[in-house]
């Protein structure tokens, strides 16, 4: 099968879990014998005039990367124009695949889009090649903002998400909660909505058995520093945890827009000396932190899945997670970790102290979590299920677009320079 994956992230350009997901999916599908082309972007700031598009093979995948065109917008302040510029460059590169040269006349059997940022090129290329469009919805704007889409940009993103979801011939979600969420926000759909959990390569996160603690407990958070990740709840719980276990520390790994605010929360709770912000780290450094931590805390208030919980499970680190979204499916309370109500700092502290009180039980749960990975979250299984959806998608007949609104009165005459 010839698969065109369209994603605004692909290694080495990785912003969050989406980039890693698409990377693993593409290479697993290629390893299974499918022809996979990934259409993605080059690092922000790449000069589109001198390096507009590159193409190279990586683990059997043809990676076509474009520079934003034109490179005059900033994502933070011009999100939608920036996205349209990137999409325009992707459309040109995607069409070029079907011509002699870049793709040597390559024609996809299906287009697979990942999130709203590639809605424009994915929809356009599926139309151009007249093939089915399948979209994986990793998160929603409403979910990221606790149901609110009051701002102008929020509403624009929400509308583009609706457009992508309703243009798709099949939809993939990573959890039951995401299926419910997109159906409530964008449905009812003509297309099927299929649940396929995210995957993980356990060998990339080597397992290490828990050893007896020799000093104060070390807690760990890994993720983006954004409000929906609930890091402020972990900070708020830290004084209570330290009363039970003096000297407990919290290491916060990651970057994001809320770091300054989180540092203020740390000062407000008087735990400055107990909290360390490391910034963004590579996988080797994150793995080292996982192996040294007594527990990973995943306090998200919104989380479609929670890949970091699986990575910790692979490494053998006990997981303490909020019962929110996909985390409630990734972590089984009392079997593969401990859970608490999202936003409940007291409940979070209780889950942490229960884990620290019984290290033998924590080790048993960590081992059970690792065993579950190979059964439910193996990338070969995930890729096979995803390809099954791609193969089964049928391009439905689109209704003709409505006629443009008729202007009933003439426009004022003016000189055209």
Q: Is the pLDDT of residue 45 over 70?
A: no
Q: What is the mean pLDDT of residues 30-37?
A: 95
pLDDT of 407: 45
8 Å CB contact between 347 and 299:
no
| Angle, in degrees to the nearest 10, between helices 79-96 and 152-167 | 30
Show the beta-strand stretches assigned E in 289-337.
295-298, 319-322
Residue 31's contacts (CB-CB under 8 Å, 6 or more residues apart) are 59, 60
Q: Which domains does the chain have, with CATH numbers?
A: 2-199+382-392 (3.40.50.2000), 203-376 (3.40.50.2000)
125-146 burial, b if ≥16 CB within 10 A, otherwise e? bbeebebbbbbbbbbbbbbbbe
Residue 370's contacts (CB-CB under 8 Å, 6 or more residues apart) are 202, 207, 313, 314, 316
Structure tokens at 263: 């540092």
Residue found under tokens 């003709």: 400
8 Å CB contact between 206 and 281:
no
Distance of CA 87 to the CA centre of its chain: 19
More confident site: 163 or 104: 163
Determine which of 4-8, 31-35, 174-178, 362-366 has the lowest per-residue pLDDT on average: 174-178
pLDDT of 103: 60
Residue found under tokens 């159906």: 183
pTM for the predicted model, two decimal places: 0.79
8 Å CB contact between 301 and 324:
yes
């Amino acid at each position: 099968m010839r698969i065109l994956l369209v994603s605004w992230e692909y290694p080495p350009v990785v912003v969050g879990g989406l980039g890693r997901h698409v990377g693993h999916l593409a290479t697993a599908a290629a390893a299974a014998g499918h022809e996979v082309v990934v259409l993605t972007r080059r690092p922000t700031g790449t000069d589109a005039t001198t390096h507009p598009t590159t193409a190279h093979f990586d683990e059997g995948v043809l990676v076509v990367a474009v520079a934003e065109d034109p490179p005059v917008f900033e994502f933070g302040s011009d999100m939608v124009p920036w996205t349209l510029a990137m999409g325009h460059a992707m459309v040109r590169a995607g069409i070029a695949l079907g011509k002699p040269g870049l793709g040597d006349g390559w024609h996809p059997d299906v287009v697979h889009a990942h999130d709203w940022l590639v809605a424009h090129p994915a929809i356009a290329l599926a139309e151009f090649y007249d093939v089915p469009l399948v979209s994986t919805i990793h998160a929603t704007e409403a979910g990221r903002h606790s149901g609110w889409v009051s701002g102008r940009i929020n509403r624009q993103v929400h509308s583009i998400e609706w457009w992508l979801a309703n243009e798709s011939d099949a939809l993939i979600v990573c959890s039951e909660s995401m299926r419910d969420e997109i159906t409530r926000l964008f449905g009812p759909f003509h297309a099927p909505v299929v649940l396929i959990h995210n995957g993980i390569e356990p060998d990339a996160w080597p397992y290490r058995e828990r050893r007896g603690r020799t000093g104060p407990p070390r807690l760990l958070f890994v993720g983006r520093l954004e409000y929906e990740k609930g890091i402020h709840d972990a900070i708020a719980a830290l004084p209570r945890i330290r009363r039970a276990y003096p000297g407990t520390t919290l290491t916060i790994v990651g970057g994001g827009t809320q770091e300054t605010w989180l540092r203020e929360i740390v000062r407000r709770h008087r735990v400055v000396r107990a909290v360390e912000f490391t910034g963004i780290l590579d996988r080797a450094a994150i793995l080292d932190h996982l192996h040294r931590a007594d527990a990973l805390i995943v306090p998200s208030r919104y989380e479609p899945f929670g890949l970091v919980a699986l990575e910790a499970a692979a490494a053998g680190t006990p997981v303490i997670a909020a019962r929110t979204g996909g985390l409630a499916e990734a972590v089984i309370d009392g079997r593969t970790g401990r859970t608490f109500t999202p936003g409940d700092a007291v409940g979070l502290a209780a889950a942490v102290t229960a884990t620290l009180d019984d290290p033998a039980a924590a080790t048993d749960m960590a081992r059970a979590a690792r065993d579950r990975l190979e059964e439910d979250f193996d990338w070969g299984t995930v890729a096979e299920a995803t390809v099954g959806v791609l193969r089964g998608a049928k391009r439905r007949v689109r209704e003709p677009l409505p006629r443009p609104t008729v202007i009933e009165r003439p426009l004022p005459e003016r000189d055209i320079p």
